[in-house]
Structure 1
Amino acid sequence: MSTFITRDGTELYYKDWGSGQPVVFSHGWPLSADSWESQMLFLADHGYRVIAHDRRGHGRSSQPWHGNDMDTYADDLAQLIEHLDLREAVLLGFSTGGGEVARYIGRHGTERVAKAGLISAVPPLMLKTEANPGGLPLDVFDGIRAGALADRSQLYKDIASGPFFGFNRPGAKVSQGMIDSFWLQGMQAGHKNAYDCIKAFSETDFTQDLKRFDIPTLVVHGDDDQIVPIDAAGRASAKLIANARLLVYPGAPHGLTDTHKERLNHDLLTFIQQP
């Protein structure tokens, strides 16, 4: 296992496959680096070095009581990039990981970064506020927290078998394997860490972070995303990021890294290869 110790003593696990220009992946909640495996295998096979860490408190990383917030997640990502001395990296963030990438650029800039991709990502802000009327009400996230406290194992099964992959839509082809993988990754996460992360991904405002993007950026979002609705997320982010390219996947759910992996893999490769 490849691990490193952050400045606050947290041990972070990461995968590091292949060789070439580095592509760094940040995963969603409550998952782990395993959720990116289709994209990592594909890009490594096409001549890239692919790196994905388990966020603190998730997967095989240690489970600290504190630091389960976006600033710390971004600083952990920065320390990983510095630890491996990565340059000209492509940062790809899915869902919560998109927030991590945005906050990394907001706090650390793009000196080591060549391009970025936000996939089904939470920025600019998931929570409904006066300034963000298209967001989701606080009681949605309070409901997730209540479900986590009552029976988080069942919560993860319900999310995976329902809205995450769009399996609750009429005529959907349900994959028990995808459901099981989501549940397994979720149950690897620390209970406190996953609980705190709900606030981190839902209430953090990334508006100013997105305005600091000065590199080519790809925004990918499904227009049937029931977890992170496209209008308040992908479309809003694409408007805030200078010269961002928005790709809308018709009918795609939140978990399109699995359900639409062939298209996503090729779209990512094309984006990375563009001069």
Structure 2
Amino acid sequence: MLVISKLVASSTSVHVPQRALIKIGVLNAFRRISSCDSMPSRPSVLKQMVASAWHGGGGDRQNMEFQVMRLISYVVICLFVAGNAVPAIAQDEDLAASPASSSYLPEVSGFGDDWFEVNRFGLEVPTDIFQEGSSAVYAGPNGARITVLVFLVTDDRVAIRQSWEEASDTFDSYRYNVATNYDYSQLERLEAMPPPAGCVESKRAEGTDNYFGFLAGVTMCAIDPDLIVIAATSGDVSGDAGYRASDSVIEMAIATVE
């Protein structure tokens, strides 16, 4: 990771003769990804990316640097997901995303250029409260990233009340990774804000990403009649950052409902 970061920081000086250094960086990044239990396993994609960077994109320096940057994004996502382990709702990379809940996950094209979807997968949810759950992780330019979780609530009236509390535990697991410097005035301001359009209830958090120092935001939204969505963002998303970025991702999910 450190090797690649140094290369990228001076990417204008990276030339094909320095490909050996890039190989070392790619392999180090690949080993880091392979050892990350929370990283969704995408062997075919990773092998293709490593091969492309290894061979320098057929001698094309620009393509080689692009592949290396893309691999770095995978490392960033790996660390992000690992640092945001969800205690109440288990993310299972071997569990396929459920058709109904995954239909509310935003399409990556909505985030703009140079974004790609790392993976989407199912969530192990308490079945007495939720019908199903799905999640997606996205990586964007300059290290930006997004995680979206979607929960479909059961029809049981007791479960409807419990679902918000259950999802709040997941919200908190992301919020705890955002440093707010205990700015209570900011917390009060976020609590006093009306929910994003289309949400009947919401929670927000904003602060500094504890791992990478980006402005980060987390928004949780209840959507009638049976949907709860959580969006966690770090870095710039379509010109927004912090809670504005996570709100905008929520609005994209709401648009799929409408």
Tell me the TM-score range normalised by the shorter chain: under 0.3
> How does the TM-score come out when normalised to structure 1?
0.25
Report 1 or 2 for greater relative contact order, CA contacts < 8 Å, sequence distance ≥ 6: 1
| Higher strand proportion | 2
> How does the TM-score come out when normalised to structure 2?
0.26
Larger Cα-atom Rg: 2
